[in-house]
Structure 1
Amino acid sequence: MADDSTATASASAPAPASPCSAPSRPTDPDFLSCVLQPPTSSSSTSRPDPDYAALRRLLLRRKSSSALNHRMEWRCNGKGYVAYRNFLLRRIEAASSSAHSTPSNSGRWFASPTTFSEADSWSSIRDLRSNSGKLSRTMSVSSKQSEPERHVRFAEPAYSFVGMHCIFDNCKASVTVLQFGRTNSDLLAYGSSDGSLTVCQVSEPPSVLQKLTGHSKDITDFDFSSNNQYIASCSMDKTVRVWEISKGTCIRVVYGVSSQLCICFHPVNNNLLLVGNANREINAINFSTGRVISKLTCDNAVTALDIDHTGQLIFAGDAQGYIYTISVNSHTGSLSRTHKNKSCKSKSSITTIQYRTFSLVARCPVLLSCAQDGNLYFFSIATNSHGYLTLICSLKLASPVQNIRASFCPLLSLEKGEFIVTGSGDSNVYFYDLARPKNSCVNKLQGHGSPVMGVAWNHGENLLASSDSDGTVIVWKRAKTN
């Protein structure tokens, strides 16, 4: 790399020098330039050999093009070879001037104010050093920014979005809940307060596949079957409906005595539906017959629920902020309550319960809970104690909105931290790192014109869908990262 970056510098050096008289530090730019000085001719004069510069240029030009192509394709932290070379040169410059790096610049690669191309690999150290003043001024300005601004500006690559992938605005009522198909990156469905359920595909070209109508009031929740052939939905009209997606028809209706608030398929036995209602019950319903085969009574209306990947534990949240751990038999559907968690400080209704198999932060299964008052709770799950919950941390959203929903970012959290995404009353989509006690907001997406109600990731987490109270659904496309 030293040969490439000093090619022109050697041709314009002021005077020859001996390598023996150079400083002992191999990273000193003066030492590098001395080593590459043209040797003196064999004559008695001390003039440099006039053929040296031309010969050296010829040798450099005859170097294999694969090396240059390799440098052009080389990437690290989203930056190219030139950025890395400039980073090293600035380190050399700082070391030679005995300057100390600031905390805001340590461990990061900053691009120079000048736009570089890979052809600049042949530029001289002298030209690069002439830009060091501009670079230091740029760094000093960036170091004066507030901490939250730096988090957003230098957000991790996993949170870089290239814009909106598509927009669905065919719904005229508030979209309260949305979800991608199971292990599917293309199938998206969303339910609204007018009782309609819309099924879309987000691949090119995006289109609406089915609009399922039958509910007379707000859709409170729905879930895909494991093969994405059916959707089970519940509503404030006191019914549970099962839809066949390909035909767009309702194949079964289960009537209740109160509003049905949350629903999910059993992950192991897809013939089992679990439904929570305003009558303080969790019902296990046979998918084939529509009959209630088991029920469990809680202390308050059951507003949210999720089930672990083994199908043995249900986690349910109620209207007073309590979270229940319930044991379920995968074959018979029998339910039995094991724990009632009271660590949530708010007495607000739970809007989101989401289970995650493993977390790098907790080193065990975890649970995310979101309440109507904007409080987020992050729990660890003790699998050897029948799902006992331990509160790890909590977060208060700045601008909560009623019935807001949140979601884990499972793949992104494999890098570091514990990331979640949530809607907000200020029409933005926010990303938070629950592992950071301060400055937990790491990014936000702006594009909605009204409060954002729901968020959902697709299977590959390259697409994020969000919905608002005006009925608009935006699918955001995440940038590709190495």
Structure 2
Amino acid sequence: MRAISSAIDSVKSWFGGERSGKGTGVLRPSLKGTKAMKQARKEGDTNLDLRPVQELQDSDSAVTCICFGQERLHKAYVLLATASKDGTVVVYRCYRTEMEIAMLSDQDFPPDDNTYSSPPADHSNIAVHSRLVGHSRAITSIFFNLLEDQLVTTSIDKSVRFWSIDSGEMLKVFTDSSPVPVAAFLPFNPQVFVAANSNAVLRLVNVQNGMVLQKLKVETEVRALKFDDTGLFLLAGTKSGSIHVLEASDANTLRFKFKVNLARGGVTCITFVPAAGGQPPCLLVNTSDCSATIIDCTYGPPSGVLNNLSVRHRVRVAHELLPLKNCYSPSGQGYLISGSENKDVHIYPLGKGSNYKMQPLKHHQVPVVAVSVNMQDTLLASADSLQPYSAWFLSKKLGRSEAD
């Protein structure tokens, strides 16, 4: 029952546990700051510590989604997968800073072959790991499998594809009758994934043989899927602005539990946030009615059963057209980070007394579609979507210098 939440707890402890306290700002420090940088800060604006450390413009095609992976497999680097509107995926190695490696000094990593243990000679601290070529149209979602040796992609081209991350080889292709906005593995059975198509059908598919185990018809197209930390409840966000809660009644079956009408705009992203700091578990949801919503999850009775979703707060995000993504940083009392169509990355503190005061990051020149924070909570990736200016930034936080 608690297998997934136990796994999340182990990740927290592996990366140094939860952070608490007020005024610490988003992300953990991972860059050495100078005295001049410290003097240049405005009092109280902790996000001025965030610095863009890398900008990439790999192609002219808009970025659609990004995600980090293999964070517990290599001490020297993490992977960042970036997907595009033209159907290509590029996987990058993002090398850790000295401070990030120092945070992991007491952690055990699997034996590495040392092939990629050193950053590129140009001191960019980022390198192309592999390119995944095969989709013919825009990629709608990407995620790593449980072992993180494969990447899964869904696309407007009506397919779900499995790729070898190291070789870039396409391993499996599952086709559908219509575009596939999103998919997800069943936590208790990683040999089964659920995929949504634009005909408002959810399919449970066996990875090994491609057999469709179950079909569920929804009222309208599902555009976002996320399991909670029990692994038993699937949150499905729809084009019409509702969230369906489905229960994994066994390792191969989903059944509808209840529905919440959330917004007038379609749901484009759902992030699940486990309970922390006295706050209940919650969802961070982007909807295309210019808002992002923090939704509290109520469990029990009976214990462990998700019975209700209730809106805690809504914040303004410029969002009418694009499939904007959000993510969560556990720094301090937690932060909602969202893309926006006004060219800024929006950062909202979630702690009590914060008043959800938005702090923008202004690196991009065009709308920001995708954002992601690594598990170590030291690196924020943000990507924009307007051709031909498509770019993405990696931002890190300044730490204390010797001069301080």
Between the aligned partners of 2:65 and 2:264, the Cα distance in structure 1 is 23
Amino acid of the structure 1 residue aligned with 2:146: S
2:63 aligned residue: 175
Equivalent residues in 2 for 1:215-226 (5 A)? Answer: 215-226=135-146
Quote how far apart the aligned CAs of 1:426 are.
2.3
Amino acid of the structure 2 residue aligned with 1:255: T
- From 355, 372, 378, give the equivalent of 2:272: 355
Corresponding position: 1:338 with 2:257: yes
Q: Mark the CA change 1:299 to 1:351 in structure 2 (over 3 Å): closer, same or farther.
A: same
Contact 2:287 2:319 in 1 (8 A): no
2:4 aligned residue: none
Equivalent residues in 2 for 1:62-211 (5 A)? Answer: 153-156=43-46, 159-181=47-69, 183-184=71-72, 186-203=78-95, 204=119, 205-211=125-131
1:370 aligned residue: 286
Equivalent residues in 2 for 1:51-70 (5 A)? Answer: none
1:269 aligned residue: 189
List per-residue Cα deviations over 1:347-382 (Å, max 9, x = no partner): 2111011112214363x2211111122211111112
Between the aligned partners of 1:261 and 1:279, the Cα distance in structure 2 is 10
Between the aligned partners of 1:440 and 1:251, the Cα distance in structure 2 is 44
Contact 1:425 1:451 in 2 (8 A): yes
Contact 2:288 2:319 in 1 (8 A): no
Q: Mark the CA change 1:338 to 1:162 in structure 2 (over 3 Å): closer, same or farther.
A: closer
Q: Once the two structures are aligned, what percentage of the paired residues are identical?
A: 24
Equivalent position SS for 2:167: coil
Contact 1:252 1:290 in 2 (8 A): no
Between the aligned partners of 1:271 and 1:438, the Cα distance in structure 2 is 42
Between the aligned partners of 2:162 and 2:396, the Cα distance in structure 1 is 31
- From 452, 455, 459, give the equivalent of 2:371: 455
2:395 aligned residue: 476
Equivalent position SS for 2:399: coil
- From 203, 228, 236, give the equivalent of 1:308: 228
Between the aligned partners of 1:390 and 1:439, the Cα distance in structure 2 is 18
Amino acid of the structure 2 residue aligned with 1:324: H
Q: Mark the CA change 1:302 to 1:182 in structure 2 (over 3 Å): closer, same or farther.
A: farther
2:356 aligned residue: 440
Equivalent residues in 2 for 1:13-52 (5 A)? Answer: none
Amino acid of the structure 2 residue aligned with 1:444: P
Quote how far apart the aligned CAs of 1:287 are.
1.6
Equivalent position SS for 1:337: strand
2:335 aligned residue: 419
Equivalent position SS for 2:300: helix
Between the aligned partners of 2:157 and 2:358, the Cα distance in structure 1 is 39
Equivalent position SS for 1:164: strand
Larger Rg: 1
Quote how far apart the aligned CAs of 1:265 are.
2.2
Q: Mark the CA change 1:399 to 1:218 in structure 2 (over 3 Å): closer, same or farther.
A: closer
Corresponding position: 1:234 with 2:150: no
Equivalent position SS for 1:427: coil
Between the aligned partners of 2:90 and 2:203, the Cα distance in structure 1 is 26
Between the aligned partners of 1:323 and 1:481, the Cα distance in structure 2 is 43
* RMSD of Structure 2 on Structure 1 (CA): 2.6
Contact 2:200 2:220 in 1 (8 A): yes
Corresponding position: 1:394 with 2:321: no
Amino acid of the structure 1 residue aligned with 2:207: F
List per-residue Cα deviations over 1:45-81 (Å, max 9, x = no partner): xxxxxxxxxxxxxxxxxxxxxxxxxxxxxxxx89xxx
Quote how far apart the aligned CAs of 1:182 are.
5.5
Equivalent position SS for 2:52: strand
Q: Mark the CA change 1:419 to 1:481 in structure 2 (over 3 Å): closer, same or farther.
A: farther
Equivalent position SS for 2:394: strand
Greater relative contact order (Cα < 8 A, sep 6+): 2
Relative to its length, the structure with more strand (as a share) is 2
1:19 aligned residue: none
Between the aligned partners of 1:271 and 1:182, the Cα distance in structure 2 is 19
Gap runs ≥5 in structure 2: 1-22, 25-37, 96-118, 120-124
Q: Give the aligned length.
A: 327
Relative to its length, the structure with more helix (as a share) is 1
Query: TM-score scaled to structure 1, two decimals?
Result: 0.63
Amino acid of the structure 1 residue aligned with 2:230: T
Query: TM-score scaled to structure 2, two decimals?
Result: 0.75
Between the aligned partners of 1:354 and 1:461, the Cα distance in structure 2 is 15
Between the aligned partners of 1:437 and 1:177, the Cα distance in structure 2 is 32
Quote how far apart the aligned CAs of 1:311 are.
1.7
